[in-house]
Amino acid sequence: MSIVVQQNTLGGLPVRDAMRMEVVHTSATASIQTAVRLLLKHKVNALLVTDSDDQPVGVVSKTDIVGAYYASLPAEYSVQNIMMAPPIFCSSDDLLESALDMMRSASVYRLYVMGKVPARVIGVLAYPDIVGLLYRYCHDCENSLLNKKRAHKLDDASTRFRLRDAMTSSVTSFPEDADLLQIMEGLSAYRFGAVLIMNWSGAPRGVISKTDLIRAYARGVPAQEPARAILPAGHVISSDEEDFVEDAIRKMIFSGVHRLFVYRKNKERIVGVFSLSNAARLRSGSCHACVSSRIRVAGDT
């Protein structure tokens, strides 16, 4: 019997290859309002919270701020009242594989990278960073759809991951007259970053994300307002379930979104969601070549 050890694209790569050097932070005494401004300005999902000695003591994310909105806390409250503590750290020398496992086991979306000498935070690693690294590998691969010089050795139809292979099949949606409290409850219950908003006929009308909610919170929009009151203009970013993962990742990167909705043949028939988190958890790039090229037979009996 053959014992097969299957490795993946992230195998052997250190955290420093994917981490971001910029760490956006705020003081523990800063207001939630200030935190919202920083999140929107820097287009990040969380801030590192530091004490008076500039030492990391917690993390405040969009999720935490949405929770404050739901609880009707004044936006003038300090972030130390809602932050998660303590931050979870890793080293730049740690393997991305172990960092991703740590993120999954702790149910967090980012790790802060601690330097050795002196001991200070030197970077941050989040799912989008891992996906960005995977995308660069796929882009440069000889089998990439974007590589015009590739030798056509692979059968795209049988070897490439399609959205139906990696998407989350359940889709949570709300009617446009649902109030924002219901939207927040749905996001919390399913740990989503955004939900689909449907019109009166059941067709997709738009998407409300945590970014939209924290912006509404900072503007003082009552949580009892209907979803349509803050629904952003524009179409729902979506892809067919038969599209390749590689194309979906590129669409998300260039559109500046963390997820897209997956439809089956008809754009109004949404059957799933594909996020940067799904892409990171795939671990093997966008096709089976990244896996099959690394299969090692450990022994026979």
Domain boundaries, the chain: 7-126, 162-282
Domain 162-282 has CATH 3.10.580.10: yes
* 288: helix, strand or coil: coil
Query: How many helices (H) and strands (E) in the chain?
Result: 11, 14
**Does the fold of domain 162-282 match that of domain 7-126?**
yes
What does the chain come to in residues?
301
Q: What is the 8-class DSSP label of residue 66?
A: H
Q: Which helix (H) or strand (E) is 98 found in, with range?
A: helix 96-106
Residue corresponding to tokens 């998300």: 252
Fold for domain 7-126? CBS-domain (3.10.580)
Neighbour count for residue 71 (Cβ, 10 Å): 11
Q: For each of the chain's 301 residues, which pLDDT tens digit applies?
A: 443 344 455 668 899 999 999 999 999 999 999 999 999 999 999 999 999 999 999 999 999 999 999 999 999 999 999 999 999 999 999 999 899 899 989 989 999 999 987 779 999 999 888 887 877 776 666 665 555 445 444 455 556 788 998 898 878 899 999 999 999 999 998 888 899 999 988 889 999 999 999 999 999 999 999 999 999 988 899 999 999 888 898 898 888 888 999 999 999 899 999 988 888 776 555 565 554 333 232 333 2
